[in-house]
Amino acid sequence: MLKIEKKKILLVDDDSDYLFQLTIALEDMGFEVVAAQTQQEAENIIAKIKPDLAILDLMMENQDTGFILCHIIKNKYPDVPIIIASAVTAETGLLFDVESEEDRQWIKADLFLDKGIRNDQLHKEINKLLKI
């Protein structure tokens, strides 16, 4: 019997409840989840494994932790799609996006989503990025 390898998702968020809930949801979608709550934990994971996709919170220890992790991941694994999932728009009114080439140059994420996205919608976006 052929064993199908599950796609590995790196999930980084300092909100333990959100991390737990999203881990369960992603596992229910059939993905393997490697989770981290800090930038350092995430960097340690990235040093050891190559995820198939990463979902990062934007503001953790610092307001730009998500951006820093994007750069680290893209420098090491340029082909790994990255989703930034954040509540920054709801909390600050600031709007981030990766629609323009200029934004993609400095943000380095493939997709920017507001937290609170429905699981079915998230699953669709993940599949698009992984070309499943």
CATH number, domain with residue 27: 3.40.50.2300
Count of domains for the chain? 1
Domain span at 35:
8-130
**Global confidence as pTM:** 0.85
Does 56 fall in a domain? yes
Neighbouring residues of 118: CB distance < 8 A, sequence distance ≥ 6? none
Q: What is the pLDDT along the chain (132 residues), one digit of tens a residue?
A: 666 789 999 999 999 999 999 999 999 999 999 999 999 999 999 999 999 999 998 877 777 788 889 999 999 999 999 998 877 544 444 555 445 455 445 556 888 888 888 999 999 999 999 998
Nearest-angstrom CA–CA distance, 92 and 34: 29
Written as six digits, the tokens of 92 are 């600050």
In a domain, residue 45? The reply is yes
CA 30 – CA 82 distance, rounded (Å): 18
User: Is 86 within the bounds of a domain?
Assistant: yes
